[in-house]
Amino acid sequence: MLRLARHGGSQLFGDGDTVVRSGNWWGNDTVWRMCLDLNKILEYGRPDGTVADTPDPDRRHIVIVDGVIAGQRNGPMNPDPLPARLLACGTTPAAVDAAATYLFGFDPDRVPVVRQAFACRSLPLAHGDWRDIEIVSDHDPWRGGLGSLPVEAVLRAEAHFAWRGHVEHQPPPAVPR
């Protein structure tokens, strides 16, 4: 029944891979807010369901991004494979998100979940600026402060069609002569 309904819905309303509908567009403010809420629960949530004012100093977690074969274009439901050979990890979700975002060729300031993670003041998820994140890598161009890594050295993942033109690194402004 579900397959039949999906097929009929795609025929009537268009396929989510080619038509902007539901939440698959760059201006949707729902998913990034939910992700930040989940990260705040992970960082500040207590076993009794309440939220602490400060993170639990005894709670530790590791964030891992498996980008060995990453996805691009029509992800996350129907991505095209991108052999990126990237494995990222860290202890701060916002920092790992910022690093992966930058290394895949997107501007962390233009990706709401990353930008807002560094901007939130109530129950903060990150401290400082994403550009100050220190990258340790076996790939020479990807070593050092994230903000100082050359944009030319990053992967060139293609954004979902409904995000294209909204999240990529922008060329520096032209200098008047």
Q: What pLDDT, in 10s, does the model give residues 114-152?
A: 999 999 999 999 999 999 999 999 999 999 999 999 989
pTM for the complete prediction? 0.84
Gap between the Cα atoms of 145 and 165, Å rounded = 25
Are 155 and 104 within 8 A, CB to CB?
A: yes
Query: Under 8 Å CB-to-CB from 77, ≥6 apart: which residues?
Result: 16, 17
What pLDDT sits at residue 26?
77
Fill in the DSSP letter of residue 147: G
Gap between the Cα atoms of 103 and 169, Å rounded = 11
Q: Calculate mean pLDDT across residues 26-45.
A: 91
**Cα–Cα nearest to 159, from 60, 45, 71, 69:** 71
Gap between the Cα atoms of 30 and 93, Å rounded = 18
Q: Is the pLDDT assigned to residue 53 strictly greater than 90?
A: yes
Fill in the DSSP letter of residue 90: E
Gap between the Cα atoms of 97 and 76, Å rounded = 16
What pLDDT sits at residue 176?
73
Q: Is the pLDDT assigned to residue 16 strictly greater than 80?
A: no
The model's pLDDT over 57-107, given as tens digits with 9 standing for 90+, comes to: 888 889 999 999 999 998 777 899 999 999 999 999 999 999 999 999 999
What is the SS3 assignment for 50?
A: coil
Q: Calculate mean pLDDT across residues 43-48.
A: 93
The domain ranges of the chain are 57-153
Given pLDDT bands bounded at 50, 70 and 90, which one contains residue 14? low
Given pLDDT bands bounded at 50, 70 and 90, which one contains residue 8? low
What is the SS3 assignment for 138?
A: coil
> 């901007």: which residue's tokens?
119
The model's pLDDT over 151-161, given as tens digits with 9 standing for 90+, comes to: 899 999 999 88
Q: Is the pLDDT assigned to residue 7 strictly greater than 70?
A: no
